[in-house]
Structure 1
């Protein structure tokens, strides 16, 4: 079996049951055992609709994973919060499936870093369903904005030409869109996946794509752009210019910009699309063919042609919030101009801004019939993700534009993969089974994280991570798990991350040998041997598997050195009603405080309000800090968490968030 290094999980070990105490919980009259399984997981139908007609990667949280920046113009990711679920919508931007989520989850936060979709959605629970939608209904009244107190196109004060055609003076919607097939990017929605490889709303744009270089034409060519999207609170204007490559312009005034889109607001600003929709100036997918005016320096349209000469460069410029009819709250006049040419961008004081504020790259994918140049703008100095306005450009001939970075994909490699780490929760075990313990539920605690490499075609790789913590348990407990689904036959790798110390100042994951019994894996016979370690188990698949076939792990604790054990067998402690492995010593079932009945398939149950083990879905170390505090050793869990008993006595109907 191949061994390797992988980790990302948390196992929590504590406790020390040394005596029995009374259980003041009650079993219903006539009942031999408590039928409540103490589960904190609920199968929930999650439905998400982004209305994008393009796939969207998303994550599900139990708290808001983003916050607005100081200016209120964008979201910032909150550090230290792990998602509960992550996946992809279909090609229409929709997702609907039944998934396991914490039972306490009454409201979910749906986040995406994709530039083409709304960053944050919320979903309130209705029965066993969570529904989130980014689709906003636009009424005729909503589409009308106040027309007083603004100049329709303030950017014309910079000397921009409006020679391509006319547009309305309220929203700046153009009447000169290009409708031909040769230069319009008909597959523009498929380019969102390409854009997502470079632009991530939660991260800065990679330096290798930031460019202050205009597009050089190696051949005579016709050129058109297709508007992909905007993601900004501003109502910006966008134009283009051109010049002989042998004569780089000294300033923006020298290039005579020509208006393309007076108002680049597409009405889908991720912070507040309902508000932005009222000030929309352009639809996604709108194309415009660029014109070459040989006498533009003379202020003349004479000789206008669709063909740009070989040896010219085409540049683009964005005028921040230049359109007069702006979103409320973002009405400030900005003199900032972002240009693709080196030295032509200027700040609010008219001073040249030297750092690149644009990103340019070519995306090719032969299986999708895509060979396009993608350009994007950062519309102000405060942003870094370069996704405020994104468009694609095509030329005829297609290879006329050269000298730009490329993102090339092999045929069929059109699946956008992401690596994500998810929080599963914490397992807690009492180790005196079959006898009752002190119910502090901290003899062995296991915090479980889950990592996967996922794409729209499924899961390519997945890992389970278990991190251990100091514990006060007097017994030597082993840690193991059963593995289900396709992972059993996958290529498996095991590693361990030991805690930092004098002899290990910079710990790294190391290959780790694990004893295997079919689908049972024994991680360690004594968790105290590597106290505080994190164990990682990774399954690699030859081809992606469906989400529904994701690996299933069921951790349990065990001992093999008790005097009363049958030779070759072991004591095991599992969750209520969960079957043991074939190596479990069955003579202990139904003895002492245990009410198991193997003949009827009933295991690890007792009569009253404390289980021998449970799993707390969505729990973190912060949530269970009281259990991890040695001061609280031997204190029953309901004394530390007063809402616990109401949850247990109601069979989970009440106080589902008792540990949060």
Structure 2
């Protein structure tokens, strides 16, 4: 009898020890925080594991951007960032390279990387394999814009161009080797865009980060010649596309006025005298990370603007006092004929545009401004004067960076001063939520149960 009791006691003690020491999994990812599973597993307690996040892409050396990692596709069907999900990790990408290690739930097998910087892929994805997530850019697809026309400029919205600065044969016909389709074969001017300039712009006007209409940068994007190089009489002007964050095949034209008024003050009769000159049949940069749109100018390849003088000649020199305005034909590129087709139009002159929201208020007031204008400096103090377009009227993300252009002048101070984008330190924060467990009898009893 005594032996039976002793055996029973031993079995009971052994069961208690085994149950106490067995690894349990109380975690159920489908339940709300605080839920404890009723039938914990005694086989595998691991609910998370370390994953190396490798995110690498081609970008100018020195460009710095932030990146967020998600477990779900982070964009809505209109292309904006979802507000119903939160990132599981954050990081800073330097020169196109991010290598992080993060502990994530074991049930997750695919991750998405989102970066709002114009000069890097917007969304990349990766399947987790052997503890590594190697990201590749995703093709972005968004809903098309609604068609409309600009409002207060008479027929300037559909006025035919009187001159094309470049023809089809001036651009590469296909992407091959180091050349991109529709990049300019022989640029009128070339310059390397410093990484710090791209960092300033990319982090100030980030993808899907709405710029309020009250911002000093949301403004008429007219450029005025204020200083010349020939006895202070004239200046030369060039344009390059710095970035494109759109899926439309837009076209860019310009017009020039040399009178005493602003464009917004012109009468209908004066507006009728403006002549449209085609600058870029396809206004796009080949760093556009909407994957199917990697065609167009290389940032730093410039096309020279020409001025039609009183003799009807197209010359390089713009006189002091000349004002340059811009017309964006949204989805206006006719690839078959390599021309600009009649399409919805955005002007750099706000009063010439339809109000974005009809008669509705928008951010506290009506708004017909589709452009930003600003300047920034590189580490050597060189000034870069730029403007950007919002190319959609409805379903617009209001980030004003669908196209960003740099306007270079000779002399360098030949154009009017603009609001300045100043560099700021990049900081990120991460928050974590989970279960903290303690072992209170180690090392004395050398237990590591953490229960």
Instruction: Please report the TM-score for the alignment, with normalisation by the length of structure 2.
Output: 0.71
Question: Per-residue deviation at 1:398?
Answer: 1.9
What is residue 488 of structure 1 aligned with on the other side?
Answer: none
Within 5 A, what are the aligned runs for 1:245-256? Answer: 245-247=259-261, 248=263, 249-250=266-267, 253-256=272-275
Question: Per-residue deviation at 1:40?
Answer: 3.2
Question: Per-residue deviation at 1:27?
Answer: 9.5
What is residue 119 of structure 2 aligned with on the other side?
Answer: 116
Q: Distance in 1 between matches of 2:48 and 2:272?
A: 63
Correspondence 1:81 to 2:96 = no
What is residue 49 of structure 1 aligned with on the other side?
Answer: 56
> Closer, same or farther in 2 for the Cα pair 1:49/1:599, shift >3 Å?
same
Q: Distance in 1 between matches of 2:343 and 2:166?
A: 24
Question: Per-residue deviation at 1:396?
Answer: 2.1
* Structure 1 gap ranges (5+): 1-22, 70-74, 137-154, 327-332, 410-414, 428-554, 556-573, 581-588, 590-595, 606-610, 613-660
- 2:352 corresponds, among 335, 344, 347, to 344
> Closer, same or farther in 2 for the Cα pair 1:423/1:174, shift >3 Å?
closer
Counterpart contact for 2:354–2:368, Cα < 8 Å:
no
Correspondence 1:178 to 2:178 = no
What is residue 70 of structure 2 aligned with on the other side?
Answer: 61
Q: 3-state SS of the aligned residue for 1:190?
A: helix
> Closer, same or farther in 2 for the Cα pair 1:269/1:398, shift >3 Å?
closer
Counterpart contact for 1:235–1:325, Cα < 8 Å:
no
Within 5 A, what are the aligned runs for 1:517-532? Answer: none
- 1:201 corresponds, among 207, 221, 224, to 207
Q: Distance in 2 between matches of 1:188 and 1:179?
A: 19
Q: Deviations over 1:400-455 (max 9, x none)?
A: 2224211234xxxxx641444x341222xxxxxxxxxxxxxxxxxxxxxxxxxxxx
Q: Distance in 2 between matches of 1:305 and 1:26?
A: 95
Within 5 A, what are the aligned runs for 1:135-146? Answer: none
Question: Per-residue deviation at 1:103?
Answer: 2.7
* Structure 2 gap ranges (5+): 1-11, 25-43, 140-155, 175-180, 229-234, 357-365
Q: 3-state SS of the aligned residue for 1:66?
A: coil
Counterpart contact for 2:243–2:285, Cα < 8 Å:
yes
What is residue 142 of structure 2 aligned with on the other side?
Answer: none
Q: 3-state SS of the aligned residue for 2:167?
A: coil
Within 5 A, what are the aligned runs for 1:402-551? Answer: 402-409=416-423, 416-420=425-429, 422-427=430-435
> Closer, same or farther in 2 for the Cα pair 1:388/1:253, shift >3 Å?
farther
Greater RCO between the two (CA within 8 Å, min separation 6)? Answer: 1
Question: Per-residue deviation at 1:86?
Answer: 1.0
Question: Per-residue deviation at 1:177?
Answer: 4.7
Counterpart contact for 1:51–1:135, Cα < 8 Å:
no
Q: 3-state SS of the aligned residue for 1:343?
A: helix
Q: Distance in 2 between matches of 1:174 and 1:239?
A: 17
Q: Deviations over 1:5-60 (max 9, x none)?
A: xxxxxxxxxxxxxxxxxx9x98998x993468945332211111232333331101
Counterpart contact for 1:164–1:176, Cα < 8 Å:
no
Question: Per-residue deviation at 1:291?
Answer: 1.8
Question: Per-residue deviation at 1:118?
Answer: 2.5
Q: Distance in 2 between matches of 1:216 and 1:84?
A: 47
Correspondence 1:127 to 2:137 = no
Q: Distance in 1 between matches of 2:367 and 2:84?
A: 35
Q: Deviations over 1:294-353 (max 9, x none)?
A: 13xx7x3x2x33221111112222111111239xxxxxx8632212224334689xxxx9
Question: Per-residue deviation at 1:250?
Answer: 4.2
Within 5 A, what are the aligned runs for 1:213-292? Answer: 213-220=221-228, 221-247=235-261, 248=263, 249-250=266-267, 253-266=272-285, 269-270=288-289, 272-273=290-291, 275-277=292-294, 280-292=295-307
The number of equivalent residue pairs is 366
Q: 3-state SS of the aligned residue for 1:195?
A: helix
Q: 3-state SS of the aligned residue for 1:239?
A: strand
Considering only CA atoms, is the larger Rg found in Structure 1 or Structure 2?
Answer: 1
Instruction: Please report the TM-score for the alignment, with normalisation by the length of structure 1.
Output: 0.50
Q: 3-state SS of the aligned residue for 1:116?
A: coil
Question: Per-residue deviation at 1:194?
Answer: 1.6
Q: 3-state SS of the aligned residue for 2:421?
A: strand
Q: 3-state SS of the aligned residue for 1:425?
A: coil
